[in-house]
């Protein structure tokens, strides 16, 4: 199999910048500000059901401990109740960023599902469960601000935006070559999330959106460590 070219995306002010990086290396220099409390988000009505591998409103609620496993995917320490957080207003660019962050969380989830199936390493399954909670939190914000959820109806590995589809396809190809390649791809995903969440949090003005971004940022830093980053 030929070596994949890594495609990374950056969301800045709602505009997606796509960079092509040969090979698997990836460096991030993100300014990370104050990190909010990382207590767990409550489950929302949105879901991702692995049995039919589809994303949609009709699926059961998130189950972070459905397999009785501990670790990153089974507790709510990375997320927190957001129903009591104050809402605000979003600009068009902030709305676009929120939609893209939903897809970016789905990229992480879907890759870890595939890598877990390929290699059987529990870390992929555990963090895939955590990514389900992350996506649920972003979906809650999309619903609150009456925005279209780009992940609804999308099967595992399918994305609404071309940039996210290219990112997923490239990292899946890299991770399918070897276990080491899968861990490198996972680190790339988390570094991309860290950079984009930091930029999104800096640009956000709505209190609830800022809190969600900062909590997800803290969680992504934990995930990066779990993958050896």
How far is residue 135's CA from residue 130's CA, in Å, rounded to a whole number?
9
pLDDT at residue 80 in the model: 62
Instruction: Check residue 193 and give its pLDDT.
Output: 97
Query: For residue 46, what are its two tokens?
Result: 């949105």
Range of the domain at 171: 6-22+44-226
The CATH number covering residue 204 comes to: 1.20.1260.10
Q: Do residues 218 and 35 lie in contact, with contact meaning Cβ atoms separated by under 8 Å?
A: yes
Domain count, the chain: 1
pLDDT-flagged residues of the chain (< 70): 1-80
C-alpha 55 chain-centroid distance: 14
pLDDT for position 84: 77
pLDDT reported for residue 19:
37
Query: In 3-state terms, what secondary structure has residue 155?
Result: strand
Give the model's pLDDT for residue 98: 98
Supply the DSSP string of 1-49, one letter for each residue.
Answer: -PPPPEEEEEEETTEEEEEEESSS---------PPPP-PPPPP-S-EEE
Domain assignment present for residue 29? The answer is no
CB within 8 Å of 196: residues ≥ 6 apart: 9, 10, 11, 101, 104
First to last CA, the chain: 25
Distance, CA of 229 to CA of 227 (rounded, Å): 6
Residue 38 lies in a domain: no
Looking at residue 8, its pLDDT comes to 42
Residues linked to residue 7 through DSSP beta bridges, in sequence order? 20
Match 């320490």 to its residue by tokens: 77
């Amino acid at each position: 199999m030929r070596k994949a070219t890594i495609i990374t995306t950056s969301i800045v002010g709602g505009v997606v910048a796509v960079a092509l990086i040969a090979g698997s290396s990836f460096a991030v220099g993100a300014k990370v500000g104050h990190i909010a409390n990382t207590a767990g988000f409550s489950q929302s009505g949105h879901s991702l059901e692995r049995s039919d591998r589809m994303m949609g409103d009709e699926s059961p609620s998130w189950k972070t401990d459905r397999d009785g496993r501990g670790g990153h995917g089974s507790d709510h320490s990375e997320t927190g109740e957001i129903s009591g957080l104050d809402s605000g207003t979003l600009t068009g660019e902030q709305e676009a960023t929120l939609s893209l962050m939903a897809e970016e969380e789905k990229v992480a989830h879907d890759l870890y599902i595939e890598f877990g199936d390929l290699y059987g390493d529990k870390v992929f399954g555990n963090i895939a469960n955590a990514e389900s909670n992350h996506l649920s939190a972003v979906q809650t914000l999309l619903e609150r601000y009456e925005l279209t959820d780009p992940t609804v109806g999308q099967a595992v590995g399918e994305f609404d935006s071309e940039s996210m589809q290219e990112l997923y396809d490239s990292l899946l190809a890299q991770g399918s070559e070897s276990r080491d390649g899968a861990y490198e791809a996972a680190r790339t995903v988390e570094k991309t999330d860290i950079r984009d969440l930091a930029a999104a949090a800096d640009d956000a003005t709505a209190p609830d959106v800022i809190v969600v971004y900062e909590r997800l940022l803290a969680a992504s830093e934990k995930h990066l460590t779990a993958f050896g980053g």
